[in-house]
Homo-oligomer: A and B are copies of this chain.
Amino acid sequence: MIFADLLRSRRRHQLTADDLAALEASVSGLRSLPARTTMISRDEPVRTSTYLMEGFMCRYMDDQKGDRQLVAVHVAGDFVDLHGFPLGYLDHDLATLTACQVAQVPHAALDGLMVTRPNLTKLLWFSTLLDAAMHREWIFRLGRLDAIARVSHFICEIETKLRAVGRSDGSSFHLPMTQADLGETCGITAVHMNRMLRELKDRQLMTIRRNQVDIINPAGLAELGEFDPSYLFLDNTG
């Protein structure tokens, strides 16, 4: 069952068995990718899209000095570059954080599905717009929150996403990102990220140690990060 986590906790019930079977039939291959590897570079034409079955990936852009800005962090169940199907190329790089298992779907097959399966098409469209909604929240985070609130917000977001696909129990989960990665996500330096994480620990909100996140006070963390999960379009709000 390749697409076991696709749209899980998010309208998955609208995916009929037929649609799922058609999607699975469109898969051209499964691949294993090593950790910390750039899979697609910006501007290169793409002819397949990638579904992430297991692992963590991220999308990022570079500035003139070569510093990165992450624009998305992906977990199991995400169609990481489905937007490349209508767009034709990516405006950013796509890389793995951990070793990953992915399934690839040729765009030619997706064109076929668009003709015969409007319901599936609309759900795939929905999934790309979910990413856009997260982008908007990231804009909000960078534009309106200070450093400690940004970190809190991001941790709440990633926890909620992981919980939606059964990878978090609500308080504890694996997050394979260094403090430098987190800084590149939140628009602050690694040094300042370190200080913010210390402060979150001091305030008894959460700890990170060896890629393991423990949320001590979920409500307090969400409050500090002004986190409201409605932009994640979950079936069961909360």
Contacts and interface: CB of A to CB of B under 8 A. Distances in A.
Contact of A126 (B87, B142, B143, B230): B87
Given A63-B144, A121-B114, A122-B114, A87 B139 contact: no
Given A230-B43, A230-B91, A63 B140 contact: yes
A64 interface: yes
State the main secondary structure of chain A at its contact with B: helix
Interface residues of A, number: 46
Contacts of A43: 230
A200 B130 CA distance: 37
Contacts of A99: none
Nearest to A87: B129
Interface string A86-101: 1100011000000000
B139 A69 contact: yes
Interface of A: 42-43, 59, 61, 63-64, 67, 69, 71, 83, 86-87, 91-92, 111, 114-115, 118, 121-123, 125-126, 128-133, 135-140, 142-145, 184, 186-187, 226, 230-231, 233
Given A71-B140, A135-B136, A135-B139, 19 more contacts: A83-B132, A86-B122, A86-B123, A86-B125, A86-B126, A86-B129, A87-B130, A91-B137, A118-B121, A128-B129, A128-B132, A131-B132, A132-B132, A135-B135, A135-B138, A139-B139, A142-B142, A143-B184, A143-B187
